[in-house]
Chain A
């Protein structure tokens, strides 16, 4: 029955024998585990496509609303957090695997004649992978996304000559990003890049087939192997290991959603995603007028060098152990990248902003003090004690908490980002010492009340 269907399908379309022909490819005797990375990258792309489409089915692609729809996906849609975290960690692992794929081809010298075009298409695919990272970073529309993108667009806008045009293309108006930038990044991320990636991946695979998998010296004397099932098994097992790592990350490593993008927030310390951190750190090495070297010149030279690699190194294929120079080059680049990234991570102070996760805010944190003191309020004891203390002390007269109270003093929501526990306690005891000229009276709460007040105040969400 199945055989009959397959025969009919093959007779009318040629698909079955096409797949067979593809799987029956001859590969050199030296092929093996070192060549699994291309297949993993393809699989990684597939996972990003599937999870990306799933996210899009519950996502509002406009600045502002994007944030709430993502929060909805993570907090209210079954499996939403897993899908989002698969997409997030999948993006990071994609960068890792594309880099490993390139490093492997580079060390083995697989870019050499006649495979220059395959390599060049690969470099374009690498840049596109980074393009996904750059544009996707903005899409959660939280503070991290917003400020990270502000810095990235400013860097591009500083390019000599083309800068203002790039800025205009990215929808940047007077240095500020907003709805237009968001729409463009979204369109690039989901409309422009995916079909382009698919087309180039197809071309990349076609070129691999056209020239054959790169052989090593000595392969000519040995009998060829078949791609299927030996190499396909190796690829599949490698894909499985990759998938297991990705899945574990997606289940275990929580991806926060910070507070919603706030262009007026001057306290935020912007950081790009980890794979761009080295570039961010590089800028610090070139102060003042030299900045252009770090932001534009060096990255451009690196990209040109990648494209030009097959034309610079025109020697014959040799065994890997004779490629000492290539290996040292990779080690040098890895060391530079690693130390820059480490310096950037070490130089990033932890802040209440980057620790905050909107998806962990519980419903009681949105209750007003009057709602909290109701006997049936579903809230922890400390919050109820705090609300009783708060109302008894008359704080409501001057301060707004969750939309309730007077406007004489500063609103208390989001105070977690402005003040720490010690400051708040000192301020309760002696306000004028902390804020000269303050009209707030001192409050010397008993220790349990003080602790409850501080705990509760630091849990008042920003929105």
Chain B
């Protein structure tokens, strides 16, 4: 049996040790609970958004379409948009509608032939490359394909990870 200061030191150490085990056993699951992504996966289905033949050549068309999205515990059907650019008789790409700076919706400016963001004046070329302003990278694109003359989009891929048309112009 320990006595005096040894006993006291042992007790203090035991209190701290047991406290640490409890904190860890609660803290670790709490952190994974908060930080791990949910197991829900969004099935990437292709959605028809436009007839390629009806799209204007040389300028983007803003297309609004609705898609299903898993939102936590529900599946919501929501409207979203894409700027679709026809690049040939069988080709097109689709830009995601949010500025890569802070997510504001940008618009096509016909006069200067560029996309401009109303929030902090970032501008992008028709293929999404950054022309000016604080935007850190090119506009994100939807996965897209043309099937039987219809433009179809899938999920949005960050321009950073795709590397398709790089960072600042």
Contact = CB atoms under 8 A, between A and B. Distances in A.
Interface in A54-102: 54, 57-58, 60, 65, 68-69, 71-72, 75-80, 82-83, 86
A229 B15 contact: yes
A54 B33 contact: yes
Interface stretch (B20-28, B58-66, B144-152): B20-28
B8 A229 contact: yes
Contacts of A50: 26, 30
Interface in B10-32: 11-12, 14-15, 18-19, 21-22, 25-26, 29-30, 32
Given A76-B40, A229-B15, A236-B18, A47 B26 contact: yes
A79 B32 contact: yes
Contacts, number: 68
Contacts of A47: 26
Contacts of B11: 229-230, 232-233
Contacts of A76: 38-40
Contacts of B8: 229
Interface residues of B, number: 23
A125 interface: no
A276 interface: no
Contact of B14 (A72, A80, A233): A233
A64 to B, nearest CB: 11
B54 interface: no
A247 interface: yes
The residue in A83, A233, A239, A247 that gathers the most chain B C-beta atoms within 10 A of its C-beta is A233
A77 B31 CA distance: 12
Contacts of A75: 39
Contacts of A86: 26
Contacts of B34: 54, 57
B18 A237 contact: yes
A233 B73 contact: no
A80 B73 CA distance: 13
Nearest to A77: B38
A236 B21 CA distance: 11
Nearest to A59: B73
Given A68-B73, A229-B8, A78 B32 contact: yes
A79 B36 contact: yes
A320 B14 CA distance: 30
Interface in B72-128: 72-74
Contacts of A60: 73
A117 B156 CA distance: 64
A234 to B, nearest CB: 9
Contact of A240 (B18, B30, B40): B18
A243 interface: yes
Contacts of A57: 34
B42 to A, nearest CB: 13
Interface string A419-445: 000000000000000000000000000
A230 B9 CA distance: 11
Main secondary structure of the interface of A (DSSP, over half): helix
Nearest to B22: A243
Given A233-B15, A240-B22, A79 B73 contact: no
Q: Is chain B's binding surface mostly helix, strand, loop or mixed?
A: helix
A29 B18 CA distance: 25
B33 A80 contact: yes
B18 to A, nearest CB: 5
A80 B121 CA distance: 43
Interface in A192-248: 229-230, 232-233, 236-237, 239-240, 243, 247
Contacts of A78: 32-33, 36, 38-39
Contact of B29 (A83, A232, A237): A83
Nearest to A78: B36
Contacts of B38: 72, 76-78
Nearest to B73: A72
Contacts of B33: 54, 77-80, 83
Nearest to B26: A50
A396 to B, nearest CB: 25
Given A76-B38, A229-B8, A236 B30 contact: no
Nearest to B36: A78
Given A79-B29, A233-B14, A243-B22, A65 B36 contact: no
Contacts of B12: 229
Contact of B72 (A54, A72, A240, A247): A72
Given A72-B73, A240-B22, 15 more contacts: A47-B26, A54-B30, A72-B40, A77-B39, A78-B33, A78-B38, A79-B32, A79-B36, A80-B33, A83-B29, A233-B11, A236-B15, A237-B18, A243-B22, A247-B25
The 10 closest A-B pairs by CB, nearest first: A72-B73, A78-B36, A229-B11, A79-B33, A79-B29, A233-B11, A68-B73, A76-B38, A76-B39, A240-B18
29 contacts: A50-B26, A54-B34, A65-B73, A65-B74, A68-B73, A69-B72, A69-B73, A72-B38, A75-B39, A76-B38, A76-B40, A77-B33, A77-B36, A77-B39, A78-B33, A78-B39, A79-B32, A80-B33, A83-B33, A230-B11, A232-B15, A236-B14, A237-B18, A239-B18, A239-B22, A240-B21, A240-B22, A243-B22, A243-B25
